[in-house]
Homo-oligomer: A and B are copies of this chain.
Amino acid sequence: MNATLTDHYPTRLLAPGPVVPRTHPTVWGGADDGPLTAAELAAFDGSGYHAEQALLGPEEVRALQAEARRLTADPALRGDERTVVEEKSQEVRSVFEVHRLSPAFARLAADPRLAGRARQLLGSEVYVHQSRVNYKPGFGGGPFYWHSDFETWHAEDGMPAPRAVSVSLALTENHPFNGSLMIIPGSHRSFVPCVGRTPPDHHLNSLRTHSVAVGMPEQEAVTALAEQAGGIEQFTGGPGSATFFDSNCMHGSNGNITPYPRSNVFLVFNSVDNTLTAPFGAPAPRPAHIASRDFTPVARDAER
């Protein structure tokens, strides 16, 4: 574990600890640094998220849908560690590192509509910490319990500060009833420590079932955040819509009994000034396809 840096956000504790107020900024850039307006940046600072309808056009989405299908069906990837298969049905749930597996997703990661907003929010060059395609089937796709991604990335990957932003790009329609993303507004300002030491190779289980207790906040803490916020935000929208959200947002999603599956591309941009060190709460770092250790900045559009 990390013994060289001060740990501003201790977690994976032996007993429940108090919520830690965030000490780092949320928005590091200004209105001159990218496509988001000053009002949009201020709103992101307060809520922790920014939603865009139709960030990508229908043609672009169709091409990405086809590419996602190709990757989940690729027999060469089936036994690969980058492919997460559901235990019961043996169906593919996620494919990781798609920005390295596929030129189409590499172009998407470098697209100024995505990377440009990330650079602006983080006030620096950015690199891709994680990328994946998710597929949540209809008729019983399971829930994802409340969690902060930064809590995991800090504890298990050694990310020092919450200076990272995620983009969830919809490839299918997000209805209110098919397990769409929920975020507690303003929760990114509170770091909720989780109880329980991280077992070795924890990610092999946590990515598959999400029913393990380590890395999950106490119900009381989630309730308090929702009460403070006065509610929960749920993100709906058509294919091509995108939600940008701070790495420390408390988020989750319900299960889905409807016939409508849900598929998205998930991209995490981290600041090049926030690169990974040793894990702060795990015996060993996770593999590079889950938490990249190649910190090469995403190329700017003009330089491609």
Contact = CB atoms under 8 A, between A and B. Distances in A.
Interface of A: 138-140, 143-146, 175-177, 179, 182, 219, 222-223, 226-227, 232, 234, 252-260
A145 B257 contact: yes
A210 to B, nearest CB: 11
Nearest to A255: B255
A219 B139 contact: yes
A143 B219 contact: no
Contacts of A256: 254
A254 B257 contact: yes
Contacts of A175: 232
A219 to B, nearest CB: 5
Contacts of A223: 138, 259
Contacts of A176: 176-177, 234
Contacts of A139: 219, 222
B177 A259 contact: no
A143 B226 contact: no
A101 to B, nearest CB: 31
How many copies of the shown chain assemble into the complex?
2
Contact of A234 (B140, B146, B177, B255): B177
Given A219-B259, A254-B254, A254-B256, 14 more contacts: A139-B219, A143-B255, A146-B257, A176-B176, A176-B177, A177-B182, A177-B232, A182-B258, A226-B259, A227-B259, A232-B258, A232-B260, A252-B257, A254-B257
A145 B255 CA distance: 11
A254 B177 contact: yes
7 contacts: A177-B182, A177-B254, A219-B259, A226-B258, A226-B259, A254-B255, A254-B258
A177 B258 CA distance: 13
A175 B139 CA distance: 21
A17 B138 CA distance: 23
Contacts of A140: 143, 145
Nearest to A224: B259
A142 to B, nearest CB: 9
A243 to B, nearest CB: 15
A173 to B, nearest CB: 10
Contacts of A257: 143-146, 252-254
A139 B220 CA distance: 10
Contacts of A226: 258-260
Contacts of A179: 254
Q: Which 10 A-B pairs have CB atoms at the shortest separation, nearest pair first?
A: A176-B176, A223-B259, A255-B255, A143-B257, A226-B259, A177-B234, A139-B219, A254-B254, A252-B257, A254-B257
